[in-house]
Chains A and B, each alone.
Chain A
Amino acid sequence: DAGVTQSPTHLIKTRGQQVTLRCSPISGHKSVSWYQQVLGQGPQFIFQYYEKEERGRGNFPDRFSARQFPNYSSELNVNALLLGDSALYLCASSRDGSGANVLTFGAGSRLTVL
């Protein structure tokens, strides 16, 4: 079975632009979580989606938004990019929305904002 897949793997944007990152969960997993990992820090929680509904939101500005589709894939959108948005964006899937479930991570999308 394929693992969690994310696209694109790398991208470069300029300040003020918008970006969309995509994630396909493991087959059978219905929950997707998004994290931001800045170099040298731990993953910071952005969103959790389960059954197409937002179930958790971290301390990120409204420029960050996400959605989950009927096939459980997900997109993360970031508007009005800032230099500080440069980071590795990780998607993780889990069987359901329970905190007891193990997160399976993708390889990430590395965003550079110039």
Chain B
Amino acid sequence: AQSVTQLDSQVPVFEEAPVELRCNYSSSVSVYLFWYVQYPNQGLQLLLKYLSGSTLVKSINGFEAEFNKSQTSFHLRKPSVHISDTAEYFCAVSDQGTGGFKTIFGAGTRLFVKA
């Protein structure tokens, strides 16, 4: 069975500083990887995804994540954060279990950007 570990529950960072949110997964089969974001008082929404091909994927608001198969990681990075990036970030993995797919989420990392 697959699982997702987000190593940091909270990450405080100053505005314009770089940030990395760590995610490791375990699965016995090929996986698809996602980062979802939940802004304050909003629902979960997709930030970026890795399905195949280039291991580096990017979002429209400057985040990027790199799929590392050997280390079973999918860390999320941004070179310079903004106050508006304050949110909870969830790493998720899906593979094909018996009879269908299911997407499993990590516990989340709360990113708090300070002025």
Which A residues are closer than 8 A to B by beta carbons?
33, 35, 41-45, 48, 50, 55-56, 58, 90, 92, 97-100, 102-103, 105-108
The interface residues of chain B lying within 8 Å CB-to-CB of A108 are 43
The interface residues of chain B lying within 8 Å CB-to-CB of A92 are 44
B49's partner among A58, A90, A102 (CB-CB below 8 A) is: A102
19 pairs, CB–CB < 8 Å, chain A vs chain B:
A35-B105, A41-B107, A42-B4, A42-B6, A43-B90, A45-B102, A48-B102, A50-B100, A55-B99, A55-B101, A55-B102, A90-B43, A99-B94, A99-B103, A100-B32, A100-B94, A102-B46, A102-B49, A106-B43
Tell me the bound Cα distance from A58 to B99 in angstroms: 12
- Taking CB atoms and an 8 Å cut-off, the chain B residues in 30-50 that contact chain A are 31-32, 34, 36, 43-46, 49
CB–CB A42/B90 < 8 A: yes
- Taking CB atoms and an 8 Å cut-off, the chain B residues in 82-115 that contact chain A are 90, 94-97, 99-108
CB–CB B103/A58 < 8 A: no
For chains A and B in complex, what number of residue pairs have CB atoms within 8 angstroms? 64
Tell me the bound Cα distance from A42 to B90 in angstroms: 7
Q: Give B90's nearest chain A residue, CB to CB.
A: A42
Q: Give A42's nearest chain B residue, CB to CB.
A: B105
Q: Give me the 4 closest cross-chain CB pairs, A-B, nearest first.
A: A55-B100, A99-B94, A99-B101, A56-B102
